[in-house]
Chain A
Amino acid sequence: MKRHGRFAIALWLVSILVCGIIISRTQFTTDLSVFLPRSPTPEQQLLLEQVRDGLASRLILVGIEGADAPTRSRLSKQIAQRLRADPEFVSVNNGEPVNAEEDRDFLFSHRYLLSPNVIPEHFSVDSLHAALSDSIDLLASPAGLLVKALLPRDPTGEMERLIGQLSSGSRPRLADGVWSSRDGARALLLMQTRASGSDIDAQQRAMAAIRAAFDGASGASAGAILLMTGPGVFSVTSRDTIKKQVSRLSFISIVLIATLLLLVYRSFTALALGFLPVVTGMLAGIVAVSMGFGVVHGITLGFGTALIGESVDYSIYLFVQSERGGTSQQVWIKRFWPTIRLGVLTSIFGFASLLLSGFPGLAQLGLYAISGLIAAATVTRFVLPHLLPTSFRIHDLSTIGLTLGSLLRRAAALRWGAVIVLAVACAILVQHRAIIWDHKIASLSPVSQADLKLDADLRSDMGAPDVRYLVVVSGTDRESVLRAAEQVSTVLQVQVEQGELAGFESPSRYLPSLATQRARQASLPDSAQLEADLAQAVQGLPVRAQLFAPFLADVEAARGQPLLQAADLERTSMAMAVDALLIRQDGHWSVLLPLTAPAGGNINAGHMRTVLTATNLPNVLFVDMKAESDQLYSGYLHEAIQLSLGGLVAIIGLLLVFRAPMSVLRIIAPLAAAVITVTAGLALFGQQLTILHLVGLLLVAAVGSNYALFLDRTNYAQPSSEETMSEAKRLVHSPSPRTLASMVFASLTTVAGFGMLSFANVSILQALGVTVAPGVVLALLYSAIFARQADE
């Protein structure tokens, strides 16, 4: 072994070691927000943060099915009791009136600061008379019993108004004292975790705690089933799915490729050596992503699985294409390495475009692919030849190669057929052009349809609004955003009365701005005035003014009451609403006002925007979360398409440097044909293209370029050394049988690697699989069919 050989091996071993150390410290994630775009505006940033860390992300909806209603109720109560003591949970609601007393105390003691009725006219003689008359009517009703005790203190019905406001939202029905679905078949609980939804470990702990509480409580109640859903639950199950899928698919494709290689090589040494570049490439890919992004995504690892099939190609070329004997690797390096190097370069140019993507997830894939391929090719070129034992030999593939050679010569006969297929593909694409791309961001979600349905069911049972429409008010301090929220609320209330909205929520209901509270305080008349007015107001009513002495005292107290602060809400169920809707971030305040669409209708976004603009309030934004995120995604999809086209241009440019223009056309044409045919095939099967299909197409071009380069006749026109002169002459018009055999095996391994991904349940991985596997085969076929023939 030569000296520089030893040096190369040593260097390689050291790099492997370093890679190992870096990887052992690498963080792996499955948080799919990396496949959400890096958002360009602060509002969109806020939205994405809401999706990741906001209150909605911290909710876990729990359902208990099976057994009978009393059992479900008992389970619900036991689970809730146990989890209320668990610090992982901020709140656990199951319909039991645990906060009822605190809520009532809070509302009652702050009723004059909270009630929107409190304006100066509210305490005029006429208004008092009307309010008293109403209250007396209420006493006559069955509910009168509930307000009887309050009448002397609250004759104007502020408490009734506040409670009405609170219970206006749809709430789940109660069965046996706990929340239940409308059909009564499920008990429901709503939990809020302390950790944000993007803290998947914490979400997993919370899920385990819920499961443990259920198991601990269920004991004797066989037949009861626990269901969980919510963003955090989705993250946890996605992670599990991705983990399971990636490790299973990696295992299967490694076994598959190994079997294939063993069949070809008939040598374990060759198999083991052949995997060295693959392993090195995987390690290098992980290290590059880890250092470039700080974390490595599970999807990137899954993608890496598929890249095994691609990086194993280099060693296949080396083993199959080299002659037997000690010096043959040197020959291979001289004859074939330039072609492979060009192939690697085109792949790198193709993937480089992904690095510029606004999706961190895509950029990761690009970086992984580039560094992995470089590492694999480098090891194949500089390390592997020195590791081959002198007696190294693999099964002779000349026979297969010769058969392939004669097939290749006859492949030209298929040209017309291929042209027809291509024409049909083009026709399909033209026909489907409007629906080729999937612009919905949900298409990237790894969550299964069944899980989405369960989520939708539990949500509708719970009466939880889908936070699709929001008005976002932002500002520099709490007071200003609350004031703006109050003004927006006034406008929204008009929309509710006009039927444009079913309702809306605002934190200013429970925590009015200080200005509003002061105005309400100022509306309260002094004792002497109120007493005089009250004496007049009771005339004609069956009550005596003396009865309302406690009312006078309460109003007087409210005039001097300290204003309501956020801390006063603690331990009430209103605190959760305020926490969720009033957000402070980096000294910046925002209020979210979720809107509920009218039953069976949609919110007219244009109308709402006009109405809100008319308020002349700065920093008020109407947001349709779904449209917004789809639009964002759509924008990035366009960006990715442009980047891919850029990548294509880069590949062509690169080839033009090394090859004649006609030759470049011959290399590019089969790749373009393969891409068109695959896209048409996907359209035909109803698969709309996502950003990951696009990555797949890029891979088809990258991998396919290797085949096209090898099949391109010009490679063999110039013999690169004395030893091969005779062979080069013999093969001046077509690739050698060995080259052909190596290409077929290389494409088989690629198909095996990516083909496995087609069976993934994770849509992102599946998209890659169904694009690359057929695409690679097609690229090889088209390259063979359209390769220049000896007689041309």
Chain B
Amino acid sequence: MMTPPSHALSRSLMQAALVALALMLSSGGSHAADWGLDQLMEDLAKIRSGRARFTEEKTIAMLDAPVESSGELFYRAPDHLERHTFEPKSESMTVDGGDLLIVRDGQEYRLQLQGYPELAAFIDSIRGTLAGDRQALEHKYRLGLEGDAENWVLQLLPVDEKMQAIVWRIRIGGVHDDVRSIEITLADGDSSLMRIERLDKP
């Protein structure tokens, strides 16, 4: 884990308290018993927008050391996603529907996601998960869910052969309706791990 232990401890205590509170407020205990992919999707779908801090670590074979970046994410249901990178270099990426806008070094790059299947794969997996859109996800990936509501990992394996040549596996981890990490492993072995911390959690 990247976060210092003391910080992690206080945070998990906070979360435990919040979870207890949430359980008390929710209607009865049947909630936990039925928990599965549908329930997870339903919970995620309820979140209409969110803001989060992220740190990402990419391991690339051609580089001797991993490259790190950090910044903020913003999501608005169902298909608007922004990623503002502050470190190592200011940059922003905005996805709206099928359009992608990258602003870097004062230059704007407008791309159509359809033209860039590699990018589309990541973005669709993240957006699909955040939107709780099981159908959209299953259109492109074989889904597998591990763990329970307290600590789940959703694994996505591309169905399409062309995609398989690019992406091997995407693992999205979270707690209840809170996505905490996205781990992407490419077919060539390069990988990235993004840790997410919500900033506007109620």
By a beta-carbon cutoff of 8 Å, the part of chain A in contact with chain B is: 95, 97, 100, 136-146, 148, 151-152, 163-164, 167-168, 171, 173-177, 542-544, 547
Contact = CB atoms under 8 A, between A and B. Distances in A.
Contact of B89 (A137, A174, A176): A137
B146 interface: no
A100 B108 CA distance: 18
Task: Give the 3 A-B residue pairs with the shortest CB-CB distance, closest first.
Answer: A542-B65, A140-B67, A542-B64
A348 B125 CA distance: 82
B115 interface: yes
Given A140-B88, A146-B119, A148-B60, A177 B104 contact: no
A140 B58 contact: yes
Interface stretch (B31-39, B94-102, B147-155): B94-102
Nearest to B69: A140
Nearest to B66: A542
> Among B64, B69, B97, B112, which residue has the most Cβ atoms of chain A within 10 A?
B112
A137 B110 contact: no
A142 B64 CA distance: 19
A177 B115 CA distance: 9
Given A136-B63, A141-B104, A146-B116, 8 more contacts: A138-B104, A140-B89, A142-B122, A143-B109, A148-B62, A174-B99, A174-B112, A543-B62
A142 B102 CA distance: 9
A628 to B, nearest CB: 33
B112 A139 contact: no
Given A97-B112, A141-B85, A177 B62 contact: no
A360 to B, nearest CB: 46
Interface residues of B, number: 33
Contacts of A151: 62
Nearest to A144: B58
30 contacts: A136-B67, A137-B89, A139-B67, A140-B56, A140-B58, A140-B68, A140-B88, A140-B89, A141-B93, A141-B102, A141-B104, A142-B93, A142-B119, A142-B122, A143-B93, A143-B104, A145-B118, A148-B60, A148-B62, A164-B107, A167-B109, A168-B107, A171-B110, A174-B98, A175-B97, A175-B98, A177-B98, A543-B62, A543-B64, A544-B64
Contacts of B43: none
Interface of B: 56, 58, 60, 62-65, 67-69, 83, 85, 88-89, 91, 93, 97-99, 102, 104, 107-110, 112, 114-116, 118-119, 122, 190
A143 B109 CA distance: 10
Nearest to A176: B98
Nearest to B68: A140
Nearest to A171: B110
B69 A141 contact: yes
Nearest to A174: B112
Contacts of A542: 63-65, 67
B114 A177 contact: yes
Contacts of A136: 63, 67
Nearest to B98: A174
B115 A167 contact: no
A543 B63 contact: yes
A171 B83 CA distance: 23
Contacts of A142: 83, 93, 102, 119, 122
Contacts of A168: 107-108
A547 B62 CA distance: 7
Contacts of B116: 146
A136 B108 CA distance: 19
B102 to A, nearest CB: 5
A188 B159 CA distance: 33
A141 B118 contact: no
A681 B83 CA distance: 65
Contacts of B85: 140-141
Contacts of A174: 98-99, 112, 114
A176 to B, nearest CB: 7
A453 B95 CA distance: 32
B91 to A, nearest CB: 5
A141 B122 CA distance: 13
Nearest to B60: A139
B1 to A, nearest CB: 20
A746 to B, nearest CB: 68
B65 to A, nearest CB: 4
B109 A163 contact: yes
A136 B67 CA distance: 8
Contacts of A164: 107, 109
Contacts of A100: 115
B110 A141 contact: no
Contacts of A544: 64
A404 B98 CA distance: 79
Contacts of A97: 112, 114-115
Given A137-B89, A164-B109, A542-B67, A152 B99 contact: no
B11 to A, nearest CB: 26
Contact of A139 (B58, B64, B102, B114): B58
Nearest to A184: B97
A736 to B, nearest CB: 82
Contact of B112 (A95, A140, A141, A163): A95
Contacts of A177: 98, 112, 114
Contacts of A543: 62-64
Given A136-B63, A146-B118, A543-B62, A141 B89 contact: yes
A131 B108 CA distance: 19
Contacts of A152: 62
A164 B114 CA distance: 19
Contacts of B91: 141
A544 B89 CA distance: 22
Contacts of A95: 112
Nearest to A148: B60
Contacts of B83: 142
A138 B93 CA distance: 13
B78 to A, nearest CB: 15
Contacts of B115: 97, 100
Contact of B99 (A141, A143, A163, A173): A173
A176 B108 CA distance: 21
A167 B97 CA distance: 20
Contacts of B190: 148
A144 B91 CA distance: 12
A507 to B, nearest CB: 22
Contacts of A146: 116, 118-119
A119 B18 CA distance: 60
Contacts of A547: 62
Contacts of B97: 175
Contacts of B107: 164, 168
A140 to B, nearest CB: 4
A547 B56 CA distance: 24
B184 to A, nearest CB: 10
Contacts of B118: 145-146
A137 B67 CA distance: 8
Contacts of B88: 137, 140
A13 to B, nearest CB: 71
Contacts of B109: 143, 163-164, 167
Contacts of B67: 136-137, 139-140, 542
